[in-house]
């Protein structure tokens, strides 16, 4: 049977050099425990981050007392299990050192039966400062390894970057969107598991060959036995049954059971079919009594990363069940600086938001964590593919034997934990390290290698190759043998010459394009630098005023205030937002208008990029923007802020990622209307084109029949802007394209012939009227003159079915309000408490933002 579990509760904590014990929350961390105890202010407010850097220089101790019943004490094994210890920890049971941990990403398990006494038992976990633990390693190494985002100066360490030595979430040391909070604590659940006889410690359903006709699987069952047993292993799923007889010896053994399923229900990503899931139950029986059992849920699918040579380079796309998939999604970072604060409900909100926005992929970025089980379970359920990085990013790492052995065990632990999830379609070694070091090209990279001697360069690169070209791919091949592995993102190929390293002009591999933003390049360059798979690109904005007010007072609501700068981790980020605004839009009326307009600008940048990528299908087969979410309230590249509030970007993405989508491009004088399909059915319908002026007069109208093959990328219509505009003012008209099938609008897009800065907008009156019979959940939104970027807002937490949209007089839009549903990964219709509306014309004037 399943092990009997004792949850460890009622924890206390204190600084090791102090005597006062305080109440702790486990799972938790020191920072949140100190905050709840009233010992520190809100870490996210104002500039408090700067004042709390002392916490990571101290050692901390956690303690609890528990008792074991006589019944549990009679079990053969009493195992103390920590699903996560952050990071350097010594665990004592009744005063005896029982376990030493040194990796945040690993699960720790030890038998403590011989150390348990009748009555009270005490467990103490002493966390050593990750800073003081790793500074000596830096001294012994004798040189600093690159760690581009380690905010060591803020941490009071000058240039001593020690993050690379700890197997701990890299973003805890700071990033260009996140604060520096180097945490310690019992960050995932802990317990005591009591069991006797035998237990099934792991059940893996290896998918050997999958097709619509049959699924050939192998159930790999890891059994731990205290004694010799003759037993029967039974596997069941969906009314099917497989079994085998066996003789077990004391210790650990692995049993492989062949499994065949005829006409399986396959797992599909969103847009291609249902994400069907199977639950497999394994039981170990002795004389008809079940002595051990385990269950896993998985989806049956085949996934391949297709990299075939073609006339322009080499393809890069995922093939799911034999069907090429265009990946649409974003890069995911941890949802909080303090990871135990991320509830299941917050995960549900993120994944349901991704699904609502028509995404089919999330990339779990390598500077965070291997996510909680529920993250992958939700991706499985929703048909969201996962690109999974190993936790290495933007740094070079040491290569000593202890570090490499730790990495090897980390890979085994996480591959074993996550390998049954059908959503995970790729394991990637790291984020941007091959690009940054650029070993084979002296003039490429981020300049890191130039600070080292030739001998040291070779040593650092050999250490890199040991991890990413040997340990990690070998671990994937051993523990998740049908999974795909990609050494680094971005990368051209593992050619071991200068052709290995990515740049935006490459026609093979995946691309991170940051010319727009970091290099101040114009938005139109998104149309120039289109790779085979765009795995990173992005543009910043501020969160909405309601979020900004959670960390800043009224006096600080200026662009260059200390608080606003503290919540902008990119060195020149605020000024970059302002510079682009000067380029593309009119001057905001006030600071709150600036916040709103920063979101419009971000959305417009990402619209340009996404449409450039999708219109180049099948040359480009993936677009994952940076970034999905935030770990604290901040100005960043996210489409959803820390509180789960959708920015303009996320609403834009929902429209731009539709499975059958229109894209309107203009190159010079030529206007083209594209149809992009991500579904496996042909399309037949009608394209309607109408040109309106800003008072709602229809200036032109025509329609044409549309036919497109499944998975198509075709140009439906092409014309010169002169022919479309006639004698009408290009700054005072809008082109509306609508794709209609069977009387329903599949997609619609607006096109403008000038920049927002040059549009001749008048202040519109926008009316919002309840739709009768909808219980106050649905509204008609209309205007008397053209309204650009209409923003509906409410104090009630939730989303609108559409928002940040354009309104043409005479063409009202019906919009519903949807509230987050606690405990469910979905949104439900609801009536907002208050409702306000504004548009771009309400927010511009000539005064400058301070």
Per-residue tokens: 571: 């060195």
Cα(534)–Cα(504) distance, integer angstroms = 9
Q: How far apart are CA 104 and CA 612, in angstroms?
A: 40
Give the separation between CA 398 and CA 392, rounded to whole angstroms. Answer: 12
Residues near 440 by beta carbon (within 8 Å), at least 6 away in sequence: 496, 497, 498, 500, 501
DSSP 280-311: EEEEEEETTEEEEEEEEEE-B--EEEE--B-S
Instruction: Look at strands 827-829 and 813-820 and give their pairing.
Output: antiparallel
Contact between residue 631 and residue 171 where contact means Cβ atoms under 8 Å apart: yes
DSSP for 343-373 reads -HHHHHHHHHHHHHTT--EEEE-TTS-PPPH
Active-site hit among 49, 350, 410, 432: 432
Rounded to an integer, what distance in angstroms lies between the CA atom of residue 463 and that of residue 404? 9
Number of H helices, E strands in the chain: 17, 45
Structure tokens at 57: 């220089």
| Segment (H or E) for 515 | helix 515-518
CB atoms within 10 A of CB 50: 14
Q: How far apart are CA 734 and CA 785, in angstroms?
A: 12
Residue 31 DSSP label = H
Comparing CA positions, the residue from 61, 68, 52 lying closest to residue 85 is 61
Residue 745 burial by Cβ neighbours in a 10 Å radius (0-12, 13-18, 19+):
exposed
432 is catalytic: yes
User: For 672, what's the count of Cα atoms within 13 Å in the CB-facing half-sphere?
Assistant: 15
In 3D space, the residue among 212, 176, 785, 217 whose CA is nearest the CA of residue 536 turns out to be 176
Q: How many other C-beta atoms can be found within 10 angstroms of the C-beta atom of residue 843?
A: 22
Token look-up 């009314």 returns 239
Distance between CA atoms of residues 787 and 694, nearest Å: 8
Q: What angle do CA 66, 71, 72 make, to 5 degrees?
A: 50
Q: Cα–Cα distance between 377 and 542 in angstroms, integer?
A: 31
Check: CB of residue 623 under 8 Å from CB of residue 357: no
Give the DSSP H/E element, type plus range, for residue 132: helix 130-141
Interior/surface letters 391-416, b for 16+ CB within 10 angstroms, e for the rest: bbbbbbbbbeeebbebbbebbebbbb
* CA of residue 388 relative to chain centroid, distance: 9
**Tokens found for residue 683:** 């399309």
Tell how strand 485-486 and strand 424-428 pair up. parallel
* Distance from C-alpha of 383 to C-alpha of 403, rounded to nearest angstrom: 36
Residues marked as catalytic: 432
């Amino acid at each position: 049977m399943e092990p009997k579990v004792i949850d460890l509760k009622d924890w206390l904590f204190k600084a090791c050099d102090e005597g006062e014990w305080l109440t702790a929350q486990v799972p938790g961390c020191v920072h949140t425990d100190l905050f709840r105890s009233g010992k520190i202010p809100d870490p996210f407010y104002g500039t408090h981050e700067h004042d709390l850097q002392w916490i990571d220089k101290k050692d901390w101790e956690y303690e609890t007392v528990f008792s074991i019943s006589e019944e549990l004490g009679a079990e053969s094994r009493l195992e103390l299990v920590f699903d996560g210890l952050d990071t350097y920890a010594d665990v004592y049971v009744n005063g005896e050192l029982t376990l030493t941990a040194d990796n945040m990403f690993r699960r720790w398990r030890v038998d403590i039966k011989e150390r348990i006494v009748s009555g009270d038992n005490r467990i103490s976990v002493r966390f050593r400062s990750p800073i003081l633990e790793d500074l000596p390693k830096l001294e012994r190494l004798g040189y600093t390894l690159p760690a581009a985002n380690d905010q060591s100066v803020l941490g009071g360490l000058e240039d001593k970057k020690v993050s690379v030595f700890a197997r701990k979430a890299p973003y805890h040391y700071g990033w260009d969107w996140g604060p520096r909070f180097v945490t310690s604590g019992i960050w995932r659940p802990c317990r005591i598991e009591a069991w006797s006889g035998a237990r099934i410690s792991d059940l893996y359903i290896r998918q050997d060959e999958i097709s619509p006709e049959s699924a050939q699987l192998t159930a790999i069952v890891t059994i731990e036995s205290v004694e010799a047993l003759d037993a029967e292993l039974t596997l069941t799923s969906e009314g099917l049954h497989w079994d085998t007889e066996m003789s077990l010896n004391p210790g650990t053994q692995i049993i492989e059971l062949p499994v065949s399923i005829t006409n399986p229900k396959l797992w599909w990503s969103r847009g291609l079919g249902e994400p069907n899931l199977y639950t497999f139950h394994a039981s170990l029986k002795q004389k008809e009594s079940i002595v051990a059992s385990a269950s896993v849920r998985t989806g049956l699918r085949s996934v391949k990363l297709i990299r075939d040579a073609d006339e322009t380079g080499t393809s890069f796309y995922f093939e799911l069940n034999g069907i090429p998939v265009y990946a649409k999604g974003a890069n995911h970072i941890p949802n909080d600086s303090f990871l135990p604060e991320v509830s299941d409900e917050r995960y549900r909100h993120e994944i349901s938001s991704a699904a609502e926005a028509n995404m089919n992929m999330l990339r779990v970025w390598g500077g965070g964590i291997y996510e909680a089980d529920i993250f992958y379970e939700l991706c499985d359920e929703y048909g969201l593919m996962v690109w999974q990085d190993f936790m290495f990013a933007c740094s070079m790492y040491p290569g000593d034997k202890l570090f490499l052995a730790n990495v090897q065990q980390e890979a085994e632990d996480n591959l074993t934990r996550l390998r049954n999830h059908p959503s995970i379609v790729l394991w990637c070694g790291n984020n941007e390290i091959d690009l940054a070091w650029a070993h084979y090209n002296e003039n490429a990279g981020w300049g890191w290698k130039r600070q080292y001697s030739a001998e040291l360069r070779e040593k650092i690169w050999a250490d890199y190759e040991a991890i990413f070209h040997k340990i990690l791919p070998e671990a994937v091949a051993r523990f998740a043998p049908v999974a795909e592995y990609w050494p680094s993102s971005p990368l051209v190929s593992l050619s071991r010459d200068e052709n290995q390293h990515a740049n935006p002009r490459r026609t093979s591999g995946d691309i991170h394009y940051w010319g727009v933003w970091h290099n101040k390049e114009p938005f139109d360059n998104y149309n120039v630098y289109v790779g085979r798979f765009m795995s990173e690109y992005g543009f910043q904005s501020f969160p909405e005023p309601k979020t900004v007010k959670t960390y800043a007072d009224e006096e600080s609501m200026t662009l260059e205030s200390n608080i606003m700068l503290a919540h902008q981790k990119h060195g020149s980020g605020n000024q970059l937002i302002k510079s682009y605004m000067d380029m593309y839009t009119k001057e905001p009326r006030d600071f709150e208008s600036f916040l709103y307009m920063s979101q419009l600008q971000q959305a417009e940048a990402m619209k340009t990029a996404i449409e450039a990528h999708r219109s180049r299908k099948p040359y480009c087969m993936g677009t994952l923007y940076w970034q999905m979410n935030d770990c604290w309230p901040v100005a960043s590249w996210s489409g959803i802020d820390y509180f789960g509030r959708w920015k303009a970007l996320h609403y834009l993405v929902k429209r731009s990622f539709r499975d059958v989508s229109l894209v309107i491009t203009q190159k010079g004088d030529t206007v083209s209307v594209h149809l992009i399909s991500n579904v496996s059915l042909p399309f037949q319908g009608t394209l309607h084109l109408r040109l309106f002026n800003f008072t709602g007069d229809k200036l032109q109208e025509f329609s044409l029949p549309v036919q497109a093959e499944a998975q198509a990328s075709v140009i439906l219509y092409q014309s010169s802007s002169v022919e479309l505009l006639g004698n009408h003012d290009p700054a005072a008209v809008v082109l509306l394209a609508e794709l209609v099938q069977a009387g329903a609008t599949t997609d619609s897009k607006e096109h403008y012939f000038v920049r927002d800065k040059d549009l001749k907008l008048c202040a519109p009156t926008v009316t919002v009227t309840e739709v009768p019979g909808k219980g106050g959940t649905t509204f008609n939104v209309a205007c008397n003159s053209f309204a650009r970027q209409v923003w509906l807002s409410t104090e009630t937490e939730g989303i609108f079915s559409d928002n940040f949209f354009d309104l043409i007089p005479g063409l009202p839009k019906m919009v519903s309000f949807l509230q987050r549903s606690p405990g469910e990964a979905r949104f439900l219709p609801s009536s907002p408490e208050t409702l306000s509306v504004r548009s771009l014309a309400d927010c511009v004037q000539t005064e400058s933002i301070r």
